[in-house]
């Protein structure tokens, strides 16, 4: 079905990007065989580092003509195996396309190349008194990767997700044709939204080579509240009630004492409070101090009235750093606490979060494994980790399959979906198929065929 890369292909690729950016065999670092998901790896036949849209167009013309699979890779921080070249072929790295091209203050947009890191874009926006609201935990991910998975992050409660901030995309089609999808406009009713199809398509429909992103004025004030509860049940039951206060926090995160302790030992730094079993961390932002204080007080009072033990104020840079740096390290900290782990990134309606987390606790007891969790309580997107600890291969596989089947099944029954922000990639295909059923998957496959009839772009992912 696919052709193997041959000497001529390598020569052509060298002609396009230069010899230094075409790597084969042992010259390719083994890290390129996988992303952050464990268990799935395959080395590409050739690694190509592109620096322009035109180069990518030329590479795709070759791949299309020769039927060579192409997998695009940013920083490789994905969690579902999306950037793993499961069919070999060309691994196309975009990290060298890392320029912030232009800031347009009239339209409040920024034009970026796909290899710009989220942390670079966030810092750039802030330097210009602006904010790029999507705030996924992995700050070293590329913007191209964020768009490809429609990444969300902690501020989604108030500001939405990556898709809400993409005005237009320059993409290269599988046959090498360069297209601009969308426009720098605030409204768009002009036919099917091809731009929105490409967002979240995990590199299966077209290759993003440039993006125009919407920014907003940087809110001048922000304050967080760390709200302790006697147990996780009381903490998560409080979350849906917070919305009844009609205050919309920027973020609502929940965390257990265990997770905080993992983070303490991982970072070698104490968290400001570990006396209680469960916490909710909320952030409020706005343009006046009075408004932010008032929002904070409203929610603090509400939390105290429904069983919170206190509400700790996180108001200075130092305090924010002490709390949020621990929150930012949770994933790595849980990873360091076990031998291996796999993650479930389900999203459920916000009023079902407590029910779902309680279910994971009973599941952990039933299966006899640790299932720590933390997550974006405010948007219903949960990060749940099944820890292998000392299980042998067979027991681990059984536990994993059983746990995933039951969790995705329960999430679906509660009106949830398979992935909130990590994507489907390779790892979650079967759960997507099982939840969506025949017709939606057939529609997805149809869309894929229209974009990529040769199935050369990131084959083996999402619905194929």
Partner 1 sequence: MNILVCVKQVPGSNNVEVDPATGVLKRNGIQSKINPYDLYGIETALCLAEQYGGNVDCITMGPPQAKAVINETIAMGASHGAVLSDRKFAGADVLATAYTLSQGIQKFGEYDLIICGKQTTDGDTAQVGAEISEYLSIPNVSNVLSIDEIKDGHIYVTASLDDKNVKMRVSLPCLISVDADINTPRLPSYKIKKNISDNAVEFFSFNDFDDQDEKHYGLAGSATQVERIFPPEKNDNKYSISGTSDEQATAIFELLRTKKMI
Binding site for partner 1 (CB under 8 A): 225-226, 269-273, 289, 296-297, 300, 304, 310-319, 322-323
Specify the residue, 87 or 120, whose C-beta has the smaller distance to partner 1.
120
Specify the residue, 264 or 277, whose C-beta has the smaller distance to partner 1.
264
> Considering the complex, what minimum distance in angstroms separates the CB of residue 258 from partner 1?
18
* Cα–Cα dist 195/363, whole Å: 40
CB 143 within 8 A of CB 121: yes
Specify the residue, 248 or 313, whose C-beta has the smaller distance to partner 1.
313
How many contiguous H segments (helices) and E segments (strands) does the chain have? Answer: 15, 18
Residue 364 is given by DSSP the state: H
> Considering the complex, what minimum distance in angstroms separates the CB of residue 197 from partner 1?
40
Closest CA relative to residue 247, chosen from 304, 310, 292: 292
Specify the residue, 322 or 447, whose C-beta has the smaller distance to partner 1.
322
Specify the residue, 330 or 451, whose C-beta has the smaller distance to partner 1.
330
> Considering the complex, what minimum distance in angstroms separates the CB of residue 21 from partner 1?
16
> Considering the complex, what minimum distance in angstroms separates the CB of residue 124 from partner 1?
16
Long-range CB pairs of 23-28, under 8 A, 24+ apart, other chains included: 23/47, 23/48, 28/91
> Considering the complex, what minimum distance in angstroms separates the CB of residue 321 from partner 1?
10
Half-sphere exposure of 336 (CA within 13 A, CB side): 15
Specify the residue, 225 or 357, whose C-beta has the smaller distance to partner 1.
225
CB 318 within 8 A of CB 245: no
* Cα–Cα dist 222/441, whole Å: 42
Closest CA relative to residue 184, chosen from 198, 163, 199, 169: 169
Query: How far, in whole angstroms, is CA 247 from its chain's centroid?
Result: 26
Contacts of 464 (CB under 8 A, 6+ apart): 204, 445, 448, 455
Q: What is the 3-state secondary structure (H, E, C) of 437-461?
A: CHHHHHHHHHHHHHHCCCCCECCCC
Specify the residue, 49 or 383, whose C-beta has the smaller distance to partner 1.
49
CB 192 within 8 A of CB 163: no
Specify the residue, 280 or 314, whose C-beta has the smaller distance to partner 1.
314
> Considering the complex, what minimum distance in angstroms separates the CB of residue 13 from partner 1?
24
Tokens of 376: 């974006």
Specify the residue, 269 or 365, whose C-beta has the smaller distance to partner 1.
269
Closest CA relative to residue 86, chosen from 151, 36, 143, 35: 35
End-to-end CA distance of the chain: 14
CB 240 within 8 A of CB 148: no
> Considering the complex, what minimum distance in angstroms separates the CB of residue 295 from partner 1?
13
> Considering the complex, what minimum distance in angstroms separates the CB of residue 271 from partner 1?
7
> Considering the complex, what minimum distance in angstroms separates the CB of residue 269 from partner 1?
7
């Amino acid at each position: 079905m696919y052709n193997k890369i041959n000497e001529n292909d390598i020569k052509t690729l060298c002609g396009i990007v230069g010899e230094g950016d075409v790597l084969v065999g042992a010259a390719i670092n083994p890290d390129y065989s996988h992303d952050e998901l464990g268990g799935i790896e395959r080395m590409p036949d050739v690694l190509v580092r592109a620096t322009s849209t035109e180069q990518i167009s030329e590479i795709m013309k070759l791949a299309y003509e020769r039927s060579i699979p192409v997998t695009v890779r940013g920083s490789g921080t994905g969690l579902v195996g999306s950037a793993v070249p499961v069919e070999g072929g060309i691994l196309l790295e975009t990290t060298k396309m890392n320029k912030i091209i232009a800031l347009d203050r009239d339209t409040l947009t920024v034009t970026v190349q796909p290899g710009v890191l989220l942390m670079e874009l966030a810092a750039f926006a802030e330097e210009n008194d602006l904010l790029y609201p999507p705030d996924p935990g992995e700050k070293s991910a590329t913007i191209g990767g964020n768009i490809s998975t429609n990444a969300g992050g902690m501020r989604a409660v108030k500001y939405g997700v990556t898709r809400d901030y993409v005005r237009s995309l320059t993409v290269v089609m599988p046959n090498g044709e360069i297209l601009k999808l969308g426009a720098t406009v605030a409204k768009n009713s002009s036919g099917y939204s091809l731009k929105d199809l490409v967002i979240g398509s995990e590199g299966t429909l077209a290759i993003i080579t440039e993006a125009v992103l919407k920014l907003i004025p940087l809110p001048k004030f922000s304050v967080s509240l760390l709200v302790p509860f006697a147990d996780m049940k009381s903490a998560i039951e409080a979350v849906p009630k917070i919305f009844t206060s009609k205050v919309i926090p920027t973020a609502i995160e929940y965390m257990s004492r265990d997770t905080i302790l993992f983070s303490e030992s991982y970072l070698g730094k104490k968290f400001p409070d570990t006396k209680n079993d469960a916490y909710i961390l909320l952030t409020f932002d706005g343009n006046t101090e009075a408004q932010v204080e008032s929002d904070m007080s409203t929610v603090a009072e509400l939390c105290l009235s429904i069983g919170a033990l206190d509400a700790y104020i996180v108001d200075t840079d130092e305090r924010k750093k002490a709390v949020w740096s621990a929150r930012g390290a949770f994933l790595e900290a849980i990873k360091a606490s076990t031998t291996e782990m796999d993650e479930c990134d389900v999203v459920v309606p916000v009023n079902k979060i407590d029910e779902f987390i309680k279910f994971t606790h009973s599941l952990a007891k039933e299966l006899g494994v640790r299932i720590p969790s933390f997550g974006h309580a405010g948007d219903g997107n949960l990060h749940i980790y099944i820890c292998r600890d000392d299980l042998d291969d067979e027991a681990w596989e059984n536990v994993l399959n059983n746990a995933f089947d039951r969790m995705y099944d329960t999430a679906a029954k509660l009106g949830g979906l398979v992935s909130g922000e990590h994507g489907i990639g390779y790892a979650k295909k079967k759960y997507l198929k099982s939840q969506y059923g025949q017709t939606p998957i057939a529609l997805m496959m149809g869309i894929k065929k229209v974009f990529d009839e040769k199935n050369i772009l990131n084959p083996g992912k999402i619905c194929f």
